[in-house]
Amino acid sequence: MSVADPVAQLDPRFSDPKAAAASWPEAAARVAAAEVFWLTTVRADGRPHVTPLIAVWHDDALHFCTGPGEQKALNLRTNPHVVLTTGSTNSLSEGDDVVVEGEAVRVTDESALRTLARLWTEKYGEDWTFEVRDGVFAHTAGEALVFRVAPRKAFGFHRGEPYGQTRWSFTG
């Protein structure tokens, strides 16, 4: 099993009897197209920290960046487990949400960072153009650490007829 072929299970407790497990390729396409994500990290004292950010999907993983002094970067020093959430609407009767759980791993390889920098600009525009220097993104606003999150587990929530909650389990 890989990120491209996870085990999908429909949770009958939260799904209409007519619902079927959602397709991971379709969910991954929603993740790739999403512009805004909510990142949940854990503070050193165990309290959650949630913040919106932008991210790119590349090589079967989500990638995000943050300044080295920002709360999320401080949290990741002691606990790399994260949740990234994105969705299509705030309506109860329509839309799809995807929640990705995994471990945030620093990306420092300069070739990988150059690829990611190009993807950021392609997705978000010229304001999100980064130089790569010394294993970080460099920008007029300062340096940013880059993290990769390969899904360990993901959830899809379809609101509308038929309601359904899919859980995808990944290995590797």
Confidence (pTM): 0.94
CATH code, domain with 148: 2.30.110.10
pLDDT at residue 98 greater than cutoff 60 = yes
Q: How confident is the model at residue 1 (pLDDT cuts 50, 70, 90)?
A: very low
Q: Does 117 map to a domain?
A: yes
Q: Name the average pLDDT for the chain.
A: 94
pLDDT at residue 80 greater than cutoff 70 = yes
Number of domains in the chain: 1
Q: Does 124 map to a domain?
A: yes
Q: Does 102 map to a domain?
A: yes
Q: Does 111 map to a domain?
A: yes
DSSP state letters, 84-153: EEEES-S-SSSEEEEEEEEEEEEE--HHHHHHHHHHHHHHH-GGG--EEETTEEEETTEEEEEEEEEEEE
Q: Which domain holds residue 34?
A: 7-169
Q: Does 1 map to a domain?
A: no
Average pLDDT over residues 131-155: 96
Q: Does 61 map to a domain?
A: yes
